[in-house]
């Protein structure tokens, strides 16, 4: 039985590259909380067993990464937050005193908090989301709740973007006027915030978004992060985006929301983000 010290972990496959143990240990020392947070490798076909074993042995919370966010959604399907329901994916699991496993998705709020940290509060802004995969889906409701005036989703496969819009408007019809969807070429007008939620940057590409127009003060945000500006960030700068950022702040931001769910305190992200950026640059 794990009992003496509070145990948390990030579960995925692969997992050795994960920055979550560093981030959560840094938050814990900042907040004076004693905990162990470890990487947990699970076979691709055995998520539920590994997650259940972790909780059976006394573990209190799990972060969930690729490829298990939908499995985690299934595991916690009877006890999901609204954000997790809409995202259809879970990245934060915890067990309550009666042994019930709950699930939430902290990616979207992590993104919104990072935009605010960068000086781009989505409130009253025109926001363009490029990409319609799991990460984009998880961010829609938090962006709308943050008060953007327009949220347009464009995707290589336009039907996938349209499905996101119809799923969300079914759940929250009050947002139907702000939401729209289209193909990668359908992005009329100038944008305040453009978010690249495609995985194109992972292969050093940018989505084929021709003729994108930015307002004078505008942000191009890539969910992918690395040691250098992504192709999307570079192209956006050339097209007039006054600011560019990568997704390292979102990574730290979503971890902060998970930490708050588990420990009831929202840690400060900036010092941890600065340390992580230094580590990335040094490697």
The residues assigned a catalytic role are: 69
Kindly indicate which of the ranges 18-26, 40-48, 128-136, 167-175 contains the residues binding ligand NDP, using the contact rule CB under 6 A.
Answer: 128-136
Which two structure tokens, joined as six digits, stand for 29?
């020392």
Cβ proximity of 72 and 122 under 8 Å? no
Choose which of 13, 199, 215, 234 interacts with ligand NDP (CB under 6 A).
199
**Phi, psi of 127, deg, nearest 5:** -115, 130
Compose the 84-123 pattern: x for residues touching ligand NDP by CB under 6 A, - for all others: -----------------------x----------------
Choose which of 87, 144, 223, 273 interacts with ligand NDP (CB under 6 A).
223
Q: How far is the CB of 113 from ligand NDP (least distance, A)?
A: 12
- Chain positions 133 to 162 lying near ligand NDP, rule: CB under 6 A, are 133-136, 155-157, 160
Task: State whether residue 23 is helix, strand or coil.
Answer: helix
* 62 contacts ligand NDP (rule: CB under 6 A): no
Cβ proximity of 129 and 198 under 8 Å? no
Task: State whether residue 42 is helix, strand or coil.
Answer: coil
> Closest residue (Cβ) to ligand NDP?
133
Cα(21)–Cα(26) distance, integer angstroms: 8
Angle between helices 248-263 and 20-31 in degrees, nearest 10:
50
Q: How far is the CB of 272 from ligand NDP (least distance, A)?
A: 13
Q: How far is the CB of 40 from ligand NDP (least distance, A)?
A: 18
Torsion of CA 113, 218, 238, 276, to 10 degrees: -20
* 247 contacts ligand NDP (rule: CB under 6 A): yes
Nearest to 73 by CA among 62, 65, 85, 56: 85
Choose which of 26, 64, 80, 132 interacts with ligand NDP (CB under 6 A).
132
Cα(88)–Cα(124) distance, integer angstroms: 27
Choose which of 18, 230, 235, 254 interacts with ligand NDP (CB under 6 A).
254
Please say which residue, 51 or 135, places its beta carbon nearer to ligand NDP.
Answer: 135
Angle between helices 270-282 and 20-31 in degrees, nearest 10:
140
**Phi, psi of 84, deg, nearest 5:** -70, -40
Q: How far is the CB of 247 from ligand NDP (least distance, A)?
A: 3
Which residues bind to ligand NDP, rule: CB under 6 A? Answer: 107, 131-136, 155-157, 160, 197-200, 202, 205, 207, 223-225, 247, 250-251, 254
């Amino acid at each position: 039985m794990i009992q003496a010290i509070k145990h948390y972990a990030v579960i995925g496959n692969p997992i050795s590259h994960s920055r979550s143990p560093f981030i959560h240990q840094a938050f814990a020392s900042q907040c004076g909380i004693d905990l162990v947070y470890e990487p947990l490798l699970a076979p691709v076909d055995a998520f539920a067993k590994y997650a259940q074993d972790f909780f059976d042995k006394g573990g209190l919370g799990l972060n969930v990464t690729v490829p298990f966010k939908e499995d985690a959604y299934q595991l916690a399907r009877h006890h999901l937050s609204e954000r997790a329901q809409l995202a259809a994916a879970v990245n934060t699991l915890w067990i309550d005193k009666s042994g019930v496993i709950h699930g939430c998705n902290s990616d979207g709020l992590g993104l919104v908090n990072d935009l605010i940290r960068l000086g781009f509060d989505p409130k009253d802004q025109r926001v363009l989301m490029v990409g319609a995969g799991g990460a984009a889906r998880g961010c829609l409701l938090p962006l709308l709740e943050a008060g953007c005036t327009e949220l347009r989703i464009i995707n290589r496969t336009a039907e996938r973007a349209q499905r996101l819009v119809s799923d969300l408007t079914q759940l929250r019809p009050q947002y139907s006027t702000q939401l729209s969807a289209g193909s990668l070429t359908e992005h009329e007008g100038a944008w305040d915030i453009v978010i690249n939620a495609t995985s194109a940057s992972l292969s050093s590409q940018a989505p084929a978004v021709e003729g994108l127009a930015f307002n004078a003060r505008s942000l191009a945000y890539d969910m992918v992060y690395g040691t250098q500006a992504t192709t999307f960030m570079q192209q956006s700068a050339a097209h007039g985006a006054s600011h560019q950022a990568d997704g390292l702040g979102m990574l730290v931001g979503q971890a902060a929301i998970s930490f708050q769910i588990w420990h009831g305190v929202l840690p400060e992200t900036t010092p941890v983000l600065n340390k992580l950026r230094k580590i990335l640059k040094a490697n």
